[in-house]
Chain A
Amino acid sequence: MKPAEEIKRIVKNMSFRAGPETNKHLWADLARARELRENAQPVPDRENTRRWSMRHPISRLAVAALIGVGGITAAVVGVNVGQYYFEEKQADGTYQFHSEQAWVSGTVRDANGVEQPLITKRATSVTVGPDSPDGTLNVEQTRKSLEEIDRLRQQDRRYLRGVIETETSGCLYRILLYDYTLSNGRTLCMSENDPDQKDETHLTTAQVHELNQLTRTGRGQDTGTQEKQVKGRLFLFQRQRFVLSDGTEVIRSKGTPKDSQ
């Protein structure tokens, strides 16, 4: 048997090189990716994202906007990203992160007619599922990822890969699923409420859990497909009807971009 040192030398000398064809394709994609960035394309080109398939169980982004008047006078230019803080690990095993941002969004006149800066505050709460089999999460890495995702969101450098709609009692509630490609090469998926959709879900937390369980176990009744434009793109929705234990009827539709099918 060869001594260990000899094995190490052999492994160390292992060498693979890109052939001319690979080299040509790699560099072409690379130059194209850089060009896209330079031209500040709002949405990454599909061809460059198709192979980024890693999914991170980040879910449920809730954004609340608060407006107030105060004494901050600094102008905020460009991308405005606040720090994320880890809040707590919840009973269901998920991790809660929180961020608050404040910026001057304009001016208003007070009771004396004096112009005062209008301050907008935004509080963001994000729930993230564990990323390892033992149910834990790298909190510091996730915190950084969330900050990077915020930057990408504000630059609209993301890919809308899915839409989930829930209809109940005539109200439509929509969640958008975005892929974000981070600088470390990972593609994370984040769901968030559609800001253009005014309706809120009328389901209670217990009803949402029941609906999720019914969806997972495939107990919905297929009611066909439907094409719909979302954010300027055509999506094909698979519609399913569910009846909850309290008799509430819910239509849940999952939409995927038609151009990816």
Chain B
Amino acid sequence: MFEDELLKLRFKAGRLDALQRIYEKYRDYLLTLAMALVNDGATAEDVVHDVFVSFAQSGATFRVHGSLRAYLATCVVNRVRDQMRARKRRGRTLDEEAPLESDFDPPETRILSDEQSRLVARALARLPDEQREVIALHLNGQLKLREIAKLQNIPLTTVRGRYRHGIERLRSILNGRL
């Protein structure tokens, strides 16, 4: 936490080493969050790319009073929502009916993970958007439910409900698969 405050100040002062440290510290965290939200390597990579590039360009105008991690996670969620809207406009959504066990996963060199993580990402893709977002932000993004409620501008009870229903649904989807 203290390190993040220092990083924020150094980044605002234009220090390249601060940008590099932020990038190294949060790259995989954001990639995992993006994968949990979109279950698509190319899209997740695009999202993280855009968030970091935009962040790097913000420079002196950058102002974050809270946690840097929560700020970056919020940026990822915003980008993912944009991507989802674009997909829907093009008539594509997350592949809800794709098989959980897939023999067609290409050998990944761009994004590395284990089979269990891929399976969980595919299971998350079967959840409704709002449940997936709450679960990903809470469990992968490590945001508190209260923070998520504020971010999504919805009551805390709604967030709790989405989280509970999402977990129940995941239990049923992953039943016997792990």
Binding site for B on A (CB under 8 A): 1-4, 7-8, 10-23, 25-27, 29-31, 33-34, 36-38, 44, 48, 51-54, 138, 148, 151, 157, 181-187
User: By the criterion CB–CB under 8 Å, are A14 and B31 in contact?
Assistant: no
Q: B139 near A: Cβ within 8 Å?
A: yes
CB pair A8 B53 closer than 8 Å: no
B35 at interface by CB-CB < 8 Å: yes
Q: How far is the CA of A181 from the CA of B59 in the complex (A)?
A: 13
A22 close to B45 (CB less than 8 A): yes
| Docked CA distance A26–B178 (Å) | 33
Interface: B78 (CB within 8 A) = yes
Within 8 A of A (CB), among B115-163: 116-117, 120-121, 124, 135, 139-140, 153
Cα of A3 to Cα of B178 in the assembled complex, Å: 12
**What's the minimum C-beta distance from A12 to chain B, rounded to whole angstroms?**
5
Interface size class of B (residues with CB under 8 A): 35 or more
Please, what's the 1-or-0 string for B158-176, where 1 marks a CB less than 8 Å from any CB in chain A?
A: 0000000001101110110
- B94 part of interface (Cβ distance < 8 Å): no
A36–B59 alpha-carbon span in the complex (Å): 11
A89 to chain B, nearest CB (A): 17
Residue of A nearest to B80 (CB): A185
- Number of residue pairs across A and B with beta carbons under 8 Å? 159
What is the distance, in angstroms, from A153's C-beta to the closest C-beta of chain B? 13
B168 contacts A4, C-beta separation under 8 Å? yes
The answer to whether B167 and A8 have CB atoms under 8 Å apart is: yes
A148 and B19 form a contact (CB under 8 A): no
B7 at the interface (CB under 8 A from A): no
Q: How far is the CA of A17 from the CA of B50 in the complex (A)?
A: 17
A184 to B78, CA, bound (A): 8
Contact A14/B111 with A1-B172, A51-B50, A184-B75 known, Cβ cut-off 8 Å:
no
Residues of B near A54 (CB, < 8 A) are 79, 82, 85-86
Q: Are A19 and B109 in contact (CB under 8 A)?
A: yes
Distance (Å) between the CB of A62 and the closest chain B CB?
25
Cβ contact within 8 Å between B116 and A10: yes
Q: Does B103 contact A (CB under 8 A)?
A: no
A-B residue pairs in contact (CB < 8 Å), sample of 23: A7-B170, A11-B36, A12-B140, A14-B36, A15-B113, A16-B117, A18-B31, A18-B110, A19-B110, A19-B111, A26-B23, A26-B52, A30-B53, A31-B19, A38-B14, A54-B82, A183-B55, A183-B58, A184-B54, A184-B75, A185-B50, A185-B54, A185-B79
Q: How far is the CA of A23 from the CA of B22 in the complex (A)?
A: 14
Q: Is residue B68 contacting chain A, with contact meaning CB distance below 8 A?
A: no
In the bound complex, CA of A73 to CA of B178 (Å):
72
How far does the alpha carbon of A180 sit from the alpha carbon of B170 in the complex, in Å?
A: 38
Scan residues 35-59 of chain B and give those whose CB is less than 8 A from a CB of chain A: 35-36, 44-46, 48-59
Max count, chain B CB within 10 A of own CB: residue among A12, A33, A37: A33
For residue B108, CB closer than 8 A to chain A, the reply is yes
Tell me if A14 and B174 are in contact (CB < 8 A): no
The reply to whether A33 and B35 form a contact with Cβ atoms under 8 Å apart is no
**Contacts A12-B139, A16-B35 known; A185 to B168 CB distance under 8 Å?**
no
Are B19 and A2 interface neighbours, CB within 8 A?
no
Chain A residues with Cβ below 8 Å from B51 are 185
- Contact of B112 (CB < 8 Å), options: A16, A25, A181: A16
A interface footprint on B77-96 (CB within 8 Å = 1, 0 otherwise): 01100100110000000000
Report the separation of the CA atoms of residues A120 and B140 in the bound assembly, to the nearest whole angstrom.
51
User: Do the beta carbons of B167 and A4 come within 8 Å of each other?
Assistant: yes
> Given that A19-B108, A138-B153 are contacting pairs, would A10 and B174 also be in contact in the complex, using a CB cutoff of 8 Å?
yes
- With A1-B172, A54-B86 known to touch, is A15 a contact of B110 (CB < 8 Å)? no
Residue of A nearest to B32 (CB): A16
- State whether A52 and B174 are in contact (beta carbons under 8 Å apart), knowing that A15-B114, A16-B32, A16-B117 are contacts in the complex: no
Residues of B close to A3: CB separation below 8 A: 171
Q: B residues within 8 A CB of A183?
A: 54-55, 58, 61-63
